Amino acid sequence: MEMELTATRIMNAKSTWERVAGPLVDIVRPIAITLKPVIFPILDASSQRRIQEAVNIDDLRTAAERISHAMVFGYLDSSAHDERALRRSCEAYCDVELRHAVLHGVGNYDIDLRTKILGTDTKMPYFLTSCAGQRVLHGDGEIATANAAKNHGLGMALFQLTASTFLEVHEAHPEGSKALQLYVWRDKVLFKEVLDRAKEDGFTSLVLTADFSWVGNRERDTRTGF
C-alpha cells in the first residue's frame, strides 16, 4: 500500500538518534500508562484545583499557562505576526450584547437551541473545530475533545493530522465525530487512502481548509523554538 511505502521512506530518513529514541519511547509509554492513574493525580492536583476554582475563560487561560511549557502555550495562545487579527477577533465579542427578555413568559426550558450541522444533531448551533497537535496540549489528545463534545451534546471536526486514530475518536463519540478536516495533498493515492480510511471508520463529512496556501509568521513560536 502507498501509506506503508510512505511510512517506510520516513523511517529510512530518520537519524540515528531518532532510531534509538523511538524504541525507548515505545518501552516507556506502556509503563507510564500503567502508572498514570496513581502518579498523575498527585502531580496534577494543583492544576486541577486552579481549574475547579476558575470562574471565567481568563482564569482557565491562566491555569493553562501555569501548567504548560512556554512553547506549548505559545502555540495554543498565539497567532501570526503582531497578532492584530487575534486581538480584533477577541475584541469583536465585546460588540455583542445579550438583551435578556425578562417577564416575557419564556423560561430556560422553553429555549431550544438544537440543530443539525453536516448531518450531525447538536444541542447548540455550533461544533468544536479542529486543532493540530492536541496530544501536546492534553494527554488524551483528540479523544479528550471527543469526550467533551459528547458530554455537551456537540459535534466535532477531527484534524486530518491527528495524533489519535480516526477509529479511536469516532468510538469515543460515535454520534458526533463524523466530520474530518482535510488538506488536499498532491499525492492522490495517499489522499484517497485517507478518505477511504475515514469513511470506513464512520466519518461522513469533510471540512476543507486552505490555510496552508500561505503559512503565517508565528513570531511567538519563533521565540519559544516551537
Backbone angles phi, psi at 88, to 5 degrees: -65, -35
Higher pLDDT pick, 41 / 176: 176
Backbone CA torsion sign across 99, 105, 110, 116? negative
Question: pTM value?
Answer: 0.75
Domain boundaries, the chain: 114-212
Confidence label for 180 from pLDDT (cuts 50, 70 and 90)? very high
Average pLDDT value for the chain: 87
Please compute the mean of the pLDDT values over residues 179-194 and round it to a whole number.
Answer: 88
Confidence label for 214 from pLDDT (cuts 50, 70 and 90)? confident
Of the given ranges (63-67, 108-112, 153-157, 165-169), which has the lowest mean pLDDT? 108-112
The distance from CA 202 to its chain's CA centroid, rounded to whole angstroms, is: 18
**Do the beta carbons of residue 172 and residue 146 sit within 8 Å?**
yes
Q: Supply 138's cell numbers.
A: 492534553
What integer pLDDT is reported at residue 34 of this predicted model? Answer: 87
Residue-by-residue DSSP string for 18-36: HHHHHHHHHHHHHHHHHHH
